[in-house]
Amino acid sequence: MYAKNLSLRLHRELSEARSYDETLKRFESLRGYGQLPRGRDKAAQRLTNNEIARAVLGYVPTLSGWAGHVALIMSDLRPVGGVSASFRDAASLSDAMAALLSKDEDCNALVSLTLSLARNPGNDEYQAKILFEDDGQRKIASYVSKYALTLAASGAEKTFDPDRPLSTNTRQLVLSRAFFRSLKEDVDISRQLDRPLETDWREYETEEERSAFHERLGARRGSRFLNLGVDTTVTWPKDPTRIEFGGHHFVLFPKTKDNSHSISIDLRGERINAEDARTLLNRFLSVLTWCDNRHAILREGWSGNPVPVPVPRRDMAFSTMVTWTFYRSMPEDETLLNCLSYYREGLNAAEAEIASQEVLSFFKVFEMRREGPEVRSWIVKEFDEACKNVQPEYLKRFDEDRQEKAVEKYVYDNCRVASAHASKKFRSDADMSFETRRLSVAAEIMRALARHYIRTEFDFSDSYLSDEKVYRRH
């Protein structure tokens, strides 16, 4: 397995939803401490099991810059009670972890590996514990600093407490049998296939190369980049590209196996705040959409990076059940069917981050049997009950946005009419960051109203198991 492939795998398993840029920093730290092969000429060198083990140890610290230091120390932890008390007679922790990647029977014997790090002023402490099965019995092999000479003596493991807390703030990384079994499987396959290393613009092996690359993209001392994903099919550059638009510069990152299309802009260097930056980027995408006649949606991201970084691809949340049961029939009421179609349309618009369409779709639900004044009267009557489960922060922002205007008039005039018509009286600009945020907040309220309407007007169950009408008005 190559270091690049390992970095991608460990990023998925251990990165705690951080950007891939953090993983690259972690691997650079490992190379800097001699825990992995260093230099472009060694990028295509396959890693040994011990090197893979040390890369895993690089994920014990929270900060990526500490990966190499911690891996250097922890890889050389020695077994309490000597080699005879170690897992598979391994002389060090990295040797024991390498054994897990060498033989199926050793990997299958593992129950869990616990890696502990305690940050004490002037005296950090490291420890590891392997829980494994041997001849039907569970055993523990503990690993401590090589300088703890008394614990290296034969029999020391009998009185040693592997579960003692190292300090009041010990960080632990616990890895299961499934983690090592899956990792070993990938390592074995990569060695059997023996494919050449595939590289791209993300691979910069030296600090000088990486700095030059970021400078070409506009990174300067004190830069603070906003990085936003883009969902689009418009024509996009193959490599990271810095462009100028609307008097500002920003960087386009291409879509890859692991990253989405994305845009990065230096808020500090371009002297622009995040809200105005989002508006600018929306304007850019609108022009691009017009030119290509294809969609482009500016997604969420984060800010604060000193250099521009690509945005990881979105993994859509979903639910599965081992035994899936569904006992619902299709409603016969045509109006209800229409309401359900509009409700789904609203959720789809929310996923596409088209707030104006989201507002309109949800409004159509409770507008089905009422018009104008009747709709507004219904909103007044049902608002509190419909919105009782809406998150408080949405209600607070909704109240701030309407500026003491009556709820029913704000929902109708400033949301429904503003979204549906190019009204001079109630303007709405889909590129404006403030406006899209305002409508997104309003859409949460409209969604609650729409769901309440379907529940109460049609007494329609939301259970998978039955059509039985369960709603009861108090």
CA separation for the pair 392, 398 (Å, rounded) = 10
- pTM score, whole prediction: 0.45
Q: What percent of the chain shows pLDDT beyond 90?
A: 31
pLDDT band at 288 (very low <50, low <70, confident <90, very high): confident
Show Cβ contacts of residue 454 under 8 Å, excluding neighbours closer than 6 positions: 336, 339, 340, 343, 365, 460
Strand order through the sheet with 241-245: 241-245, 248-253, 261-266, 225-232, 296-305
The strand pairing partners of 248, in sequence order, are: 245
How large is the average pLDDT for residues 143-156? 90
Query: At 324, is the pLDDT very low, low, confident or very high (cuts 50, 70, 90)?
Result: low
Is the CB of residue 296 less than 8 Å from the CB of residue 232?
yes
What is the pLDDT at residue 43?
A: 65
Distance of CA 196 to the CA centre of its chain: 29
Mean pLDDT over 276-298 rounds to: 81
Say what the pLDDT of residue 41 is. Answer: 60
In whole angstroms, how large is the CA radius of gyration of the chain?
29
Please say if the pLDDT value at position 30 is more than 70: yes
Which tops the pLDDT comparison, 170 or 108?
108
Give the per-residue pLDDT at 42. Answer: 65
Q: Would you give the distance in Å from CA 198 to the centre of its chain? A: 25
DSSP string computed for 206-225: SHHHHHHHHHHTT--TT--E
What mean pLDDT do residues 290-304 have?
79
Mean per-residue pLDDT, 79-101: 93
Mean pLDDT across the chain? 84
